[in-house]
Amino acid sequence: MSERKTHWQSVWTTKDHEETSWFQDDPTPSLEMIEAASLRKDAAIIDVGGGASHLVDRLLERGCVHVAVLDVAEAALHQAAERLGPMGDDVTWIVSDVLDWRPVPGLFDLWHDRAVFHFLRDPGEQAAYVAVMKRALGPEATVIIAAFAPDGPEKCSGLPVVRHGEQSLARILGPEFRLVEHRRQEHQTPMGNIQHFTWCRFVRE
């Protein structure tokens, strides 16, 4: 088992989801950017590093019919599936490190990542992430990435991160992805701390 998988499996088996710093009861920034993409209801959406996030609940409530959630921690996906009950039977649950994942080429119309990319500190890992993303997405697909902003935390869950602005994210994704929207978010953790995020929406050219 990789160190990354061991770390996150431990987090999800020892902490209450609602006490984690990344917990959101209402994933408004994600939903607003997804709605701005003007997808068809039958579009294929993947939430990368979604864990036990409530985003999948909200997407299903809005009538999305092809939703996948990928996470390295099986325990996180199990929590989400249990919470959804029968409604989660149509969700595709993928237990994998995103860097090791081999998606069906061109399967997805939208890639959503809230707070995974900033854990990839090595340029080689960043390049591998982009390669997996390109394989997973079809033409004119949408990419939504949220990462800690330049004045955001330097660590999360005890791990060092790389902080990003919209320009650094655009540079890493490359010219194949056009930046169409970016915004700043102040996320309040369950402990009352404020974390600054950069949100970006790209369209594949």
CATH number at 43 reads 3.40.50.150
Pairing mode of beta strands 108-114, 137-148: parallel
Q: Which two tokens stand for residue 117?
A: 């990319």
pLDDT digits (tens, 9 = 90+) for 149-200: 999 999 998 899 999 999 999 999 999 999 999 999 999 888 888 999 999 9
Distances (CA, A) of 5 to 1, 38, 97, 100, 169: 6, 34, 7, 11, 24
Task: For residue 55, tell me if it sits in a domain.
Answer: yes
Task: For residue 93, tell me if it sits in a domain.
Answer: yes
Q: Structural domain tally of the chain? A: 1
Chain-centroid distance of CA 103 in Å reads 16
Dist CA 143 CA 179 (whole Å):
9
Instruction: Give the residue numbers spanning the domain of 191.
Output: 3-197
pLDDT digits (tens, 9 = 90+) for 70-117: 999 999 999 999 999 999 999 999 999 999 999 999 999 999 999 999
Task: For residue 167, tell me if it sits in a domain.
Answer: yes
Task: For residue 80, tell me if it sits in a domain.
Answer: yes
Task: For residue 178, tell me if it sits in a domain.
Answer: yes
What's the pTM value of the predicted model, to 2 decimals? 0.94
Nearest to 27 by CA among 6, 2, 7, 54: 54
Task: For residue 204, tell me if it sits in a domain.
Answer: no
Task: For residue 202, tell me if it sits in a domain.
Answer: no
